[in-house]
């Protein structure tokens, strides 16, 4: 079996370290793995497939000889280093928002639009974590009948604020349980323990946040529906891991609950968890650490002619970031696109 030299940039962060674990879990055909980070992490030992690897500094030169580069870095770092990796013959798969809406860069979820990988020019964008979980569920319904409108409310876990976000929730919960005033927020705008924060990211002039616009624009791009009507409200919730989304979907033609449930039960990456008698529905504590998007509460919206309601949960660190990037790399390998790029570059 052919093997590949792989780099993970941002390897010590929550998403980057998960990428490393998933490469091992998936038994990805790695010849040599390079773990790249900022200077303060250089020399840190990391176990991978029974060996101890050591973190290197993430410079442009570090991508020499790399075939596939996974980026779990901040936008400014990705903007500088992803093109440098591509210039050296690697395919860069970037998790930041920098390239997502670039018309020359494919934005891909393998279960949804793998065909877009064929027109990459060395850089492929990983969508926003909430978009990934949602679009995996929207696509099978869109295939039954084109979606006219989506109204989404996203309930996003503190892991969206990385390890520091999780620690902030835990510390505030401990403070309150002990009878003390909760420690002041530093990751989030307000106290997150026992609270909801009805906005995520910065506000735009129209009153929407950047997080909300991500889902709107990214969904349109991947479904190739630039005029699809989508609206979203993003809410930070006191859940450690996994983002949840309540979706109201209007289709052009009638899609029954039975048709939707059957299509979703056959869709890759999706698990239908929807049993009213047993009260079994998607829950973050049951999805965390898993690879599938769970969907349930599938029911007709009687207020419109062709409407459905549903609720979905996905692990935002795994499927919403690290796992999706590794899945993209798998498709690149399976379709011979790594070698094709090296011939072109």
Residues forming the active site: 129, 243
Count CB-CB contacts under 10 A for residue 274: 21
Indicate the SS3 state at residue 97: coil
Judge whether 229 and 252 are in contact, CB under 8 Å: no
Spatial separation of the C-alpha atoms in residues 170 and 181, rounded to whole Å: 14
Question: What are the tokens at 221?
Answer: 């791009």
Spatial separation of the C-alpha atoms in residues 185 and 175, rounded to whole Å: 12
Q: Which residues of 191-210 are buried (b: 16+ CB within 10 A; e: fewer)?
A: bbbeeebebbbeeeeeebbe
CA 51 to chain centre: 28
Judge whether 322 and 15 are in contact, CB under 8 Å: yes
Judge whether 148 and 252 are in contact, CB under 8 Å: yes
Count of all residues that appear for the chain in the document: 345
């Amino acid at each position: 079996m052919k093997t590949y030299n792989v780099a993970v940039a941002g390897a010590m962060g929550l998403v980057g370290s998960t990428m490393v674990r998933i490469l091992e879990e998936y038994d990805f055909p790695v010849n040599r793995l390079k773990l790249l980070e900022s200077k303060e992490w250089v020399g840190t030992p990391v176990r991978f497939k029974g060996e101890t690897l050591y973190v290197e500094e993430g410079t442009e030169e570090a991508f020499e000889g790399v075939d596939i580069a996974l980026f779990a870095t901040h936008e400014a770092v990705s903007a500088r280093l992803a093109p440098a990796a591509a210039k050296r013959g690697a395919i860069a798969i970037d998790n930041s928002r920098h390239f997502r809406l670039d018309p020359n860069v494919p934005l891909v979820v393998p279960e949804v639009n793998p065909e877009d990988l064929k027109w990459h020019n060395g850089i492929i964008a990983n969508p926003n974590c909430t978009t990934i979980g949602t679009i995996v569920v929207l696509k099978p319904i869109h295939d039954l009948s084109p979606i006219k409108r989506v109204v989404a409310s996203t309930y996003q876990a503190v892991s969206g604020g990385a390890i520091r976000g999780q620690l902030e929730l835990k510390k505030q919960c401990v403070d309150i349980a002990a009878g003390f005033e909760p420690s002041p927020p530093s990751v989030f705008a307000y106290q997150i323990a026992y609270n909801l924060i009805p906005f995520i990211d910065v506000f735009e002039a129209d009153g929407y946040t950047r997080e909300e616009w991500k889902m709107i624009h990214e969904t349109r791009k991947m479904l190739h529906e630039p005029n699809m009507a989508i609206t979203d409200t993003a809410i930070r919730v006191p859940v450690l891991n996994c983002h949840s989304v309540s979706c109201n979907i209007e289709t052009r033609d009638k899609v029954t609950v039975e048709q939707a449930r059957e299509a979703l039960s056959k869709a890759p990456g999706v698990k239908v968890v929807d049993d009213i008698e047993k009260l079994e529905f998607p829950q973050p504590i049951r999805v965390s650490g898993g690879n599938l998007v769970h969907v349930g509460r599938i029911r007709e919206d009687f207020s419109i002619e062709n409407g459905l309601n549903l609720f979905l949960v996905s692990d935002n660190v795994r499927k919403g970031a690290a796992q999706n990037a590794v899945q993209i790399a798998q498709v690149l390998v399976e379709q011979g696109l790594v070698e094709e790029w090296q011939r072109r570059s």
